[in-house]
Amino acid sequence: MKTSKWLAATSFALFSTAVLAHNHGGAGVKVNELAEGLVHPWGMVQLPNGDFIINERPGTMRRFSAGTLSAPILGVPEVVAQNQGGLLGITADPNFADNNTIYFCYSSPGEGGSTSTVARATLSGNALTDVDVIFTAGPRIDIGFHFGCRVVIDDAGHLFVSLGDRGSQREEAQNTDNHIGTVVRINTDGSVPTDNPFVDGAAPEVFSYGHRNVQGMTVHPETGAVWTHEHGPKGGDEVNIVKKAANYGWPVITYGVNYNDTPVSDITEKAGMEQPLTYWDPSIAPSGMDFYEGDAFAAWQGNLLIGSLKFDHLRRIELDENNKVVAEHELLRDREERIRDVIVGNDGFIYLLTDEPNGKLLQLMPQ
């Protein structure tokens, strides 16, 4: 089925009026500034002991422990901190308490340009040891945009990595013989799961494709499914549930247009291509993503939390039992800070990173 831009936009506007309930304040939420002086922090993970490991995009990794921000962690590989590239997503091994292992994604240098790269390392105090590159996306491209680079581990122990279309290679997002515009699935040692959908192709790590630039990824706490959100062009930011071998359509179908207002495509639906769970037009520039689990905000249980870079807020999304959006709420917009990452902590409080030259680690708790 082919749907015109006008009809799709009109349908969504009517749908939005019915279900969206925006709250521009932070009523009932107290914000604690735990740390500042972070240089464009991009990703973080909380360790079992409560410490946070935070990636700064220029290439520095820091530990926040007992109210103190550490000096740079030693042993971080060389990164290409160009435009959107740098030290980006991070996660911890499910058995971190026993093996002290972390995984992180960064833009690495090499012949032909930079690319998204995943390393595994042992965190020993304030240093990384046994740093091992377990995945390098191909091809390398001499441009500093759309790296993706979020990383999560699902309940089966697979490592998922989001990879963007690199800004100049959008058509390649439909090609499963490279890693452009894909979500890949690997084992934590870098090997390829035997049941990946394209194991006989040139890029056997690919799990899903047709993505533009996934900058949020998390695992649903009940179903175990991997959820993503991605930047559209001008309009068309999307939330998706990642499925094996699924094609998410970029750039063949999209609800956005080019930044100069020319069309990317004249259709928003096509057989064999997934429709988003929801999308935003205008774009909110989403970044960071987690489901709320905890007792601190009991009424938010199961809500999806997403940061907005463009409109400086934390977006709380209520879903029904069929994963349909029933309401959206904007929090902290009056602070005028770009939200780059969001995670729910071990204590049930919500933690945010603000994407600024003087970035902050924020803690949200009930008022």
Q: How does DSSP assign 247-297, residue by residue?
A: B--TTTS-S-B-TTS-BS-S-S--TTSPPPSEEESS---EEEEEE--SSTT
Domain count, the chain: 1
Residue 300's pLDDT is: 97
The residue ranges of the chain whose pLDDT is under 70 are 1-27
Q: Can you give the pLDDT at residue 27?
A: 61
Say if CB 219 and CB 180 are below 8 A apart: no
* Domain range enclosing 163: 5-366
pLDDT at 346: 97
Q: Are 148 and 161 in contact (CB under 8 A)?
A: yes
Q: Is the peptide bond before 139 cis (omega within 30 degrees of 0)?
A: yes
On whether the CB atoms of residues 341 and 35 are closer than 8 A, the answer is: no
d(CA 166, CA 111): 16
Q: pLDDT tens digit string along 115-147? A: 999 999 999 999 999 999 999 999 999 999 999
Which amino acid is present at 149?
A: C
pLDDT at 26: 53
Share above pLDDT 70 across residues of the chain, in percent, rounded to a whole number: 93
Question: Which residues are the active-site residues?
Answer: 146
Question: Using CB atoms within 10 A of its CB, is residue 138 exposed (0-12), middle (13-18) or buried (19+)?
Answer: middle
pLDDT (0 to 100) of residue 64:
98
CATH number for the domain harbouring residue 154: 2.120.10.30
Q: Quick one: pLDDT at residue 28?
A: 85
Q: Is the peptide bond before 282 cis (omega within 30 degrees of 0)?
A: yes
Is the CB of residue 186 less than 8 Å from the CB of residue 153? no
pTM for this entry: 0.93
β partners of residue 148: none
